[in-house]
Amino acid sequence: MDISTDIRYLKGVGEKRAELFSKLGINSLGDILEYYPRMYEDWSKAKKISETVVGETSCVKGFITHTPTKALIKKGMTIYKTGVCDGEEVMDLTIFNNRFAAEALKEGEEYVFFGKVGGNLYKREMTNPAFSVAEGGERIRPIYSSSQALSTKIIEKTVRTAIDNIKETLNETLPDRIRSEYKLASLIFSLENVHFPQSEKNLEVARRRLIFEELFILQLGLLLLRSRSKKITTNRIEFDKTEEFCSFLPFTMTGAQSRAVREAVEDMKKDVPMNRLVQGDVGSGKTAVAAAIIYNAAKNGFQSALMAPTEILATQHYHTLEKFFENTDINVALLTGSVRKKQKDEIKEKLKNGEIDLLVGTHAIIQDDVEFYNLGLAVTDEQHRFGVAQRGSLSKKGEEPHLLVMSATPIPRTLALMIYGDLDVSILDELPPGRQKIDTFYVDYEKHERAMNYVKKHLDRGLQGYIVCPLVESEESELVSATQIYENFKNNEFKNYTVGLLHGKMKPKEKDEVMKKFADGETQLLIATTVIEVGVDVPNAVIMVIENAEMFGLSQLHQLRGRVGRGKEKSTCILVSDAQNDDAKTRLNVMCKTSDGFKIADEDLKLRGPGDFFGSRQHGLPKMKIANLLNDMKTLKEAQAEAKKVLADDPRLRKKENEFLRKAVINLYEKMKD
């Protein structure tokens, strides 16, 4: 057996259990070896009963004083009582409704118990503790993320069997030189000790090796992607038409915008395709930057494609770019899932003939039957909504087109270059003049009525507003959903106003209709969920109330707030929350203090940690299995430096010493495509 062996062939697994493992993302022996414990229980340091503290979790070792006695409290509820003696004191043990556990405890035999200590100063007790026979029981135990059908015990047993079966065939991935230089343990030692640590020291050594390897392989892959793209020639542009484009604009670009356009045009003049990320805060003018770059491509004879994650956003980009190009001869078309067949066929024909310079759309534009005449530039918006695979599909539409990625989700500067290892980064750190500062207030539900009256004052002046809710139609939650709030406001508090509803469960056509009415000023107040987080642009909307604001992450709150403050009027964002926990209060106070997206991203990362910060938006990267981008920054830098060194010596990882390293990189990036 080796790491590629299907888990179903492992002793004790079989077809049915393999299906359950598959739901956890475990399909091979390699997968289960990388299914690391989420935490550990330390059973290696048993305490004397007298040393235990009521309310704390402890480990106690001792002999069973008597066979557990059974008592029926009420129908369907049986309890078993016994005691454990450590040679000095006795602690009471109570087991509820578990005959098998009670029968496993034999009088006079020694066991290790792990659980929360109850009782009082004079008598200690444990209820439903975990236990094991004393011999071999005093160890650090792994606890895995499990499911009802796959307990942590079953996972532990399967991991042990996998390690036993893999020992003879497991190849060392890291070259000897690197292991020696960084004093890293062997792979087999690390796997054994991350799952079944012999000591805290061994666990630390094992984790260090596995964290380094994970980050090292990730960086190798990103650097290989970048070097591969650097070697492929593409149709480069000859002329810089930025000045010509700027002469059509009704405003002057900021220094940051001009710099980003200049960097992109310089990239596009080279014989290798551009791979550039433009990262900017809400309202920093990314669309104008994209328009200038698209204009340069068109004036050099190339078509461009802009892919957005939602129909609302694609449609909005289409209208914005049409305005940018209204005094030019640039031809723009929109292709989304809801475009009628006749119109779709017409667009495809024009695209194929080269009559369309820019195609804006959703996933519809990466379908096989969409053909370009001469695609030279691919633009993806909000990269965190797209993985590497979708970007690749867009690139395949042309002879290695230039790639421009636009992200409105600021991530801490320290991480940007590390995370986008395959992209060059331009940062828009300057807001265009005239952008209004948004006043942000944090209030509790006692002041909710006052907040609503404040909204009405704005609506009465012919302005518009948003009320944002975190959940839709959740029966179990106490939080009021957007649908309920909509019904309530429409029929009561805001019955004299036009109120609209927008949420993620609506069909694209319905969403577009709602947004059109709001953008046209027909709807005064929009009750919405986070579907408005990305890119919706209505300059007349100047007030936003975010209900249950504690439910949102900082970066998400910042994105939502960015929907107001887009016109000439002063804008306000009111965060409503009765949250009692300190983390939530800190988050909401940060929002009131700053409007700098990069500062907010830094705070978000500190407060939530990288797991939650990246959450579902992995920026097209594989999910970290053991490394933590916040805590392991030093190791990340070492891994990146080492990856550069290895590739300088062996650019394609073809040397014998790097054979297994190459396989590990290929394996990681194959998973990214799934």
**Token pair for 207:** 């984790």
Q: Which residues, including other chains, have CB under 8 Å from residue 542's CB and lie 6 or more apart?
A: 458, 463, 464, 465, 564, 565, 567, 569, 570, 571, 572
Measured CA to CA, the distance from residue 223 to residue 644 in angstroms comes to 8
Give the pLDDT mean for 472-499.
76
CATH architecture designation of domain 45-138:
Beta Barrel (2.40)
Q: To 5 degrees, how large is the angle CA 374–CA 377–CA 378?
A: 115
| pLDDT recorded at residue 673 | 53
DSSP assignment of 225-247: HHHHHHHS---------HHHHHT
- Asked if 363 and 316 touch (Cβ cutoff 8 Å), the reply is no
Q: How far is CA 325 from the centre of its chain?
A: 35
Identical topology for domains 242-428 and 438-594: yes
Of the given ranges (56-65, 312-321, 336-345, 614-623), which has the lowest mean pLDDT? Answer: 614-623
pLDDT tens digit sequence for 426-448 = 888 887 776 778 999 999 999 99
What pLDDT does residue 430 have?
80
Using one digit for the tens of pLDDT, what is the confidence trace for 240-269?
A: 999 999 999 988 999 999 999 999 999 999
Average pLDDT of the chain, as a whole number: 86
- Region 17-23: mean pLDDT is 93
Q: Which of these, 477, 501, 474, 472, lies nearest to 489 by C-alpha position?
A: 501
Q: Residue type at 441?
A: F
pLDDT exceeds 70 at position 416 = no
The tens digit of pLDDT for each residue in 513-562 reads: 888 899 889 999 999 886 665 556 788 999 999 999 988 888 888 888 98
Quickly count: other Cβ atoms within 10 Å of residue 628's Cβ. 14
Could you tell me the fold of the domain covering 242-428? Rossmann fold (3.40.50)
Flag the least confident range among 226-240, 517-531, 591-605. 226-240
Q: Has residue 606 got a pLDDT over 80? A: no
Q: Is the backbone of residue 53 left (phi > 0), alpha (psi -120 to 50) or beta? A: beta
DSSP track, 288-332? HHHHHHHHHHHHTT-EEEEE-SSHHHHHHHHHHHHHHTTTS---E
Q: Which CATH number fits domain 438-594: 3.40.50.300, 3.20.20.70, 3.40.50.20, 3.40.640.10?
A: 3.40.50.300
Residue 385: the pLDDT is 40
**Whole-structure pTM value:** 0.64
- Distance, in Å, from the CA atom of 208 to the CA atom of 183, rounded to the nearest integer, reads 10
Give 482's Cβ-side CA count (13 Å radius).
25
pLDDT band at 338 (very low <50, low <70, confident <90, very high): confident
pLDDT confidence tier of residue 146, bands split at 50, 70 and 90:
confident
Q: Where are the domains of the chain?
A: 45-138, 242-428, 438-594
- Encode pLDDT of 187-222 as tens digits: 999 999 999 999 999 999 999 999 999 999 988 888
